[in-house]
Amino acid sequence: MNDTIKSIMKRSSIRKFKRDKIGETEINILMKAALAAPSAAKHNLGSLVL
């Protein structure tokens, strides 16, 4: 099994969140990943709100 499938299979929903701050670098990486994610019918995401 490849790494992507492994990650999908062992994911879980988090119900408790930490109050730790997320750094700007991590936020930028997450934003780039969200913008690069596939979407239905190839519709492009117009904006991303934090």
pTM for this one? Answer: 0.52
* pLDDT score, position 29: 93
Burial pattern 3-38, b for ≥16 Cβ within 10 A else e, equals eeeeeeeeeeeeeeeeeeeeeeeeeeeeeeeeeeee
pLDDT at 44: 67
Tokens 């596939």 -> residue: 38
CA distances from 35 to 4, 16, 47 (A): 18, 26, 9
Q: Which amino acid is at 8?
A: I
Q: Given this model, what pLDDT does residue 45 score?
A: 61
From first to last of the 50 residues of the chain, give the pLDDT tens digit: 789 999 889 888 878 888 999 999 999 999 888 888 777 776 766 677 77
Q: What is the pLDDT of residue 25?
A: 96
